[in-house]
Structure 1
């Protein structure tokens, strides 16, 4: 059965796991945790594998991870000691990476290969919530460092055939990501940005949708929402892989004063 594609929020650092005794997160993050915890059950069929693009991995050219059993990369700073001992031991999916590579190359993009890099927190933090049993193989794909939105949409389109084989394609980022702007004074502006982004993402015409999202920088408050857009670019891959399928916003909440959304294609 064909899987949908998703753009999910991955929160802030180890936000869902701040209690050393395993208790619930700060109430601010609970709605996001509930959303992530329900992702797999919300699918028509359990995925055979996950291909995930995180806003925390960039390379000069798009790169596939061929490793298996890789460690976690604790690429956050200033959090409690126990958050650097978290564990998520899902198997890698090098066979999916080897299928993804020629698909992307066939669309005209050179593809690098990586075997040693650990999964960053854009992978393991949301996946520890979504797949707590760590029993779905996962392969990570990098962003291109140029952050070209049209190129990332095209890369997503190239990956779309994987969906027919039960691979869930996930973009992991944040729809709003300005670390210097926090608190209730930000919410009104963040809401205007979110409404404009959501209107573009959910445009029922697939070609127009892609054009509008590729031109994200022209939307209201775009540069305020994303002073640097690496956390938005995983959306482009998910959108491209979603093809002509209907797009919906299936998550919205306010955290740290930010309006944050998640999207599903198909």
Structure 2
């Protein structure tokens, strides 16, 4: 991570606090997957933290000493999990900069039960996570809501931006007087509690559109599409057709040819008909 990014503190202190060697590759090395893999092998790197959109293009077999991989900074994909789960202990982390540094973390299960489901895990110590609905109430398990966070690591606000601070940081109505949790940050992320107590990240809450009278969270459609085999990245948008009506269009990147009919069949088994995109573009 860049030194100006809070994740760099995690990377540096994780190594130095544990008596490990901290290796810092050059920008030239990072910009070449081949050079980066060779750097990892030459320095016998054992632990690394990478963005999911970078790690998915690396070959685990070219980094034989790597035993632990953390990803964070953007949504991970099932393709990434399937590529790495048999080579390393894989953790997926989540945390907005406003709640330095990591809010929650997920350890991928081993063996065939690992499946293709990706989670952002459970809150780490000294952090609280809440799913809040449109009425400001706590959403029950399984129901999407805005992910809000609280804890001693919460920022004071945005420097010289009092209006933005007042909009995003608020008094925590769920703190029950617990010291260190009096304030809460609204992340703008859409998520829900899973039955096992982990959290599923669904996308941005401001990606909400109305299709044929139904309100749809685009992140929920994207999360369902990411479960397709060898799928890497997905974005779903609402376009206006010639009748001035919104239609969902899904754009995606995959490591194989994935047809629209295949995706439509998969999504129909999980989502209601009005949430299935009208068009698919690979």
TM-score of the pair, normalised by structure 1: 0.24
Larger radius of gyration: 2
More strand by share: 2
Higher helix share: 1
Using structure 2 for the length normalisation, give the TM-score.
0.23
Where relative contact order (Cα < 8 A, 6+ residues apart) is larger, the structure is 1
